[in-house]
Structure 1
Amino acid sequence: MASNKRANPPDRSLQELYRDDPERADALAWGRRGALKGSALATMGAALGASIPFAARMPAGTLPELLARPAAAQGTAAPGGTSQGAAAPGPQVFRMPGKNDLILLGDRPLVAETPEHQLDEPVTSAKNFFIRNNGQMPEPVTDPDSWTLTIDGEVNTPLSLKVGELRSRFPNVTLQLQMECGGNGRGAYAPQTRGNQWGNGAISNAEWTGVRLRDVLNAAGLKPSAIYTGHFGADPHLSGATDRQAINRGMRIAKAMDEDTILAFRMNGEAIPHIHGAPLRLITPGWPGSFSQKWLTRIWIRNQVHDGAGMGGTSYRVPVKPIVPGSNNNGADFAELESMPVRAILSSHAHGSRLPAGTRSLDLRGAAWAGDLTARAVHASVDFGATWTEMQVAAPANRHAWQRWQGRIALPSDGYFEVWYRATDSEGRMQPHAAANWNPQGYSANAINRAAILVG
């Protein structure tokens, strides 16, 4: 006879408890209900290894970022002897020649994120450039100038051009251009969505040299029926199937004709590294990185919206009207994710940094960007968002480059602090406190980010 006794549920991590029911998590983990004080404050301080000077301003249901996202490779034990399991493990490190340590998110396909503090340079170096593949990598070529690009479809004169011809036939341009994965910030969505759980570091701002795509399209002669592109690369499908594309996206002709959309053959004054798309890569700045096809071989000009791999449904598309988080949806009422939302990174201090006792101010710096727009302002807080200090934001080096920001913020004492930082775009839209507009594949999550700092 079967027993009516329910099996014990599996232990849940502290993060899962906070995701599912933040107020109950507060009570279970810390004995906290409402304001953080007394034994609850002592328990949380012990877990963090430091006092919390602004504890009274910590919003209820907020898990300290150092516990939500440990900086060390080892996980942090759950506080107070509770049975909900350990805190999240630290990031898994990815190492390869020519790269600084990245955060490994997946190895098939290879996906790796750059820690924010490694983006503390105006122009992103190849060693700090994030990695996002969709399929296998093609074999490197021995003669980059012989690589061929085809332009066909709704054009008067189909073209077949080698990289050497592109370089010599059309004006060369060099621009700093932001490139960001459409899933950047995905890890902030609750409930969790499909896809790589990016933090805040799927962003780059390299200096690209190439030719404007519009110059090449003008040479081909666009027909009046041309409304969309379709992009093809040499990367094999993960399955090895030769009749399937790893990714095959396309964009509106207006973006293809933008003066900053380029066919790039150099990165930071050198040949593009193979892992980043050599010998020819499409750069579509300000829009999801999936538009910036690696190992580019063909651009098909179409008389309809492109329907390749990674188009339609919920792929790189977001709800026009909010949907219930966690619900199923076929994307019929979704719109293409094009210009990326405003976001800031903090590059002056690594998450989990420990500073000397007596440190009474932080000199902060980082970067901000807003897709096709610009960043109008950046603010930072060290008291859990109760008050904010405006930072200085520099102009971009050129259109579609990110903007560096800096500023100083005071600390009242030693202890545990969190730097919260947020950007506002040129149309007045500010990063939200929580990832908004939930969607099944987790695009466009640009919540305010936090970095833990321990002083003394």
Structure 2
Amino acid sequence: MPGNTRIERSAAELYRDDPERADALVWGRRDTLKGAALAAMGLAVGSAIPFARHLPRGVVPAALAQSGAPQFLEMEGKARLILQGERPLNAETPEHLLDDDITPADKFFIRNNGSVPTPAADPRAWKVTVDGEVNTPLELTLGELEARFPLVTLRLQMECGGNGRSGFAPQAAGNQWGNGAISNAEWTGVRLRDVLRAAGLKESAKFTGQHGADTHLSAQGPAISRGMRLDKAMDEDTLIAIRMNGAAIPQMHGAPARLIVPGWPGSLSQKWFTRIELRAAPHTGRGMGGTSYRIPVRPIVPGSRNNGADFVDMESMPVRSVLTSHAHGTRLPAGTRSLDIRGQAWAGDLSVRAVDVSVDFGQSWQAMAVAAPPNRHSWQRWSGRVAFPSDGYFEIWYRATDSNGRMQPHVAANWNPQGYGANPISRVAVLVG
């Protein structure tokens, strides 16, 4: 070929490999898409882009944003989850599989920190200990817990503290979760506060430390042992769960008993639960202190190192939404001009007051209907209809607003080394025709 001939990368490759150069080529000096670049981008996504004039500078179309095809978990009794890691095993639920109001066991995401323990020979004989800053330490079997304390059944959200981590730039450490490290199962168990009160809390009891039977992959000590403020332990929705969706808890999800601490990082919902200690000072177990499940009080430089000395423990999870009626990359018949959509939204200890959707790259937004939760700490169903002016490539952007008025941001905020709290606006690509 002639020496002065240059082969340019595709738009998809360019945005993945060199976003600054991609912006320079795709956008003109007046911040509008150039004709040739617009045609190339349309070719890359497989169709014309009717609202291309509204595509914000620097935003890569969702159809081009994903780098590489995900790996999927192949496990008996589990849906086709996105594999995040094999040692320890971690897998994410694709958003479109979160359409059930009550998350079935097969669609429940997997989050492990170490080795899965051997199943209990007799689940009802499994023992739970309460000690530390209490007047009467307790050691109770699950059979005794069930006989002694009232059972409650609630739909409760449980979300990994790193859910949304892939939204951070630069990349933070840990599994690169999208939005699918979330579940909303129906849990049956006893209120933790009833058990703590039976042990007689001392005035010095201000914090908890939770313990489980799983060990670190190195076989040196526990896989994780976290704690929380006593206020959250005494919340009426914090449970020692013994059943999930009316059946025994699956071994992968913490059988025969686990804590459910809804609305806060899932690492507090100790699997294979064996002991809770009441403490006068914060717990110092594995997964506490430093940058573990902690976020900056003041913004830090993205990508910088930090020992977390001035961080605070992450507590109530931020507002988030998922679209469950249509998978990313859905193709619709030519001539489709409206689409009924739905999804779920949640906001940690708070509730969701609004969900808004855009199909023109955020130029305009349309309010969706948001249902009330069946009980506190359950996610909420949202639904509505969007319109398409023509065939072509569209993106459905969706954002939720919590009961305190905080809305999902356009980009992940408050970068931190271990990637907690990223909850940017989400988007799904749809091709009409």
TM-score interval, normalised by the smaller of the two chains: over 0.9
Q: 40, 43, 56: which one pairs with 1:43? A: 40
The letter for the 2-side match of 1:98 is: G
Structure 2, unpaired ranges of 5+: 1-8
Instruction: Specify the SS of the correspondent of 1:39.
Output: helix
Instruction: Specify the SS of the correspondent of 1:45.
Output: helix
Structure 1, unpaired ranges of 5+: 1-11, 70-87
User: 1:256: which partner in 2?
Assistant: 233
Q: Cα RMSD over matched residues? A: 1.8
Q: CA deviation at 1:34?
A: 2.2
Q: CA deviation at 1:240?
A: 1.6
Asked if the contact 1:173/1:209 (under 8 Å) is kept, the reply is yes
CA distance 1:355–1:402, shift in 2 (3 Å): same
CA distance 1:16–1:139, shift in 2 (3 Å): farther
User: For the residues of structure 2 that align with 1:259 and 1:137, how far apart are their CA atoms?
Assistant: 29
The letter for the 2-side match of 1:175 is: L
**Are 1:278 and 2:278 an aligned pair?**
no
User: For the residues of structure 2 that align with 1:296 and 1:365, how far apart are their CA atoms?
Assistant: 35
The letter for the 2-side match of 1:394 is: A
Q: For 1:229-275, what per-residue CA distance to the aligned partner results, in whole angstroms no more than 9, with x for missing partners?
A: 0011101111122xx11000000000000000000000000000100
The letter for the 1-side match of 2:390 is: S
Q: 226, 229, 235: which one pairs with 2:214? A: 235
Q: For 1:19-76, what per-residue CA distance to the aligned partner results, in whole angstroms no more than 9, with x for missing partners?
A: 897443223578897212411111011111111010001011111111112xxxxxxx
The letter for the 2-side match of 1:268 is: N
Q: 294, 319, 329: which one pairs with 2:271? A: 294
Asked if the contact 1:100/1:127 (under 8 Å) is kept, the reply is yes
User: For the residues of structure 1 that align with 2:102 and 2:245, how far apart are their CA atoms?
Assistant: 8
The letter for the 1-side match of 2:297 is: V
Q: For 1:321-342, what per-residue CA distance to the aligned partner results, in whole angstroms no more than 9, with x for missing partners?
A: 1011111111111111000000
Q: For 1:395-431, what per-residue CA distance to the aligned partner results, in whole angstroms no more than 9, with x for missing partners?
A: 0010000000000011101111111000000000000
The letter for the 1-side match of 2:420 is: Y
User: For the residues of structure 2 that align with 1:17 and 1:275, how far apart are their CA atoms?
Assistant: 41
User: 1:107: which partner in 2?
Assistant: 86
Asked if the contact 2:109/2:180 (under 8 Å) is kept, the reply is yes
CA distance 1:13–1:107, shift in 2 (3 Å): farther
User: For the residues of structure 2 that align with 1:447 and 1:23, how far apart are their CA atoms?
Assistant: 21
User: For the residues of structure 1 that align with 2:329 and 2:127, how far apart are their CA atoms?
Assistant: 47
The letter for the 2-side match of 1:442 is: G
**Are 1:351 and 2:348 an aligned pair?**
no
User: For the residues of structure 2 that align with 1:165 and 1:47, how far apart are their CA atoms?
Assistant: 62
The letter for the 2-side match of 1:27 is: A
Give the structure-1-normalised TM-score.
0.91
CA distance 1:136–1:28, shift in 2 (3 Å): farther
User: For the residues of structure 1 that align with 2:12 and 2:43, how far apart are their CA atoms?
Assistant: 18
User: For the residues of structure 1 that align with 2:101 and 2:279, how far apart are their CA atoms?
Assistant: 37
User: 1:303: which partner in 2?
Assistant: 280
What is the correspondence of 1:157-176 to structure 2 with a 5 Å cutoff?
157-176=136-155
User: 2:380: which partner in 1?
Assistant: 403
User: For the residues of structure 2 that align with 1:14 and 1:429, how far apart are their CA atoms?
Assistant: 35
User: 1:75: which partner in 2?
Assistant: none
The letter for the 2-side match of 1:273 is: P
Aligned-pair identity (%): 70
User: For the residues of structure 2 that align with 1:423 and 1:66, how far apart are their CA atoms?
Assistant: 22
What is the correspondence of 1:65-144 to structure 2 with a 5 Å cutoff?
65-69=62-66, 88-144=67-123
The letter for the 2-side match of 1:365 is: R
**Are 1:55 and 2:52 an aligned pair?**
yes
User: For the residues of structure 1 that align with 2:69 and 2:16, how far apart are their CA atoms?
Assistant: 18
Asked if the contact 1:135/1:237 (under 8 Å) is kept, the reply is yes
**Are 1:333 and 2:330 an aligned pair?**
no
Instruction: Specify the SS of the correspondent of 1:240.
Output: coil
Aligned pair count reads 426
Q: CA deviation at 1:143?
A: 1.2
Instruction: Specify the SS of the correspondent of 2:82.
Output: strand
User: 1:207: which partner in 2?
Assistant: 186
Q: For 1:146-186, what per-residue CA distance to the aligned partner results, in whole angstroms no more than 9, with x for missing partners?
A: 10000000000000000111111100000000000000000
The letter for the 1-side match of 2:146 is: R
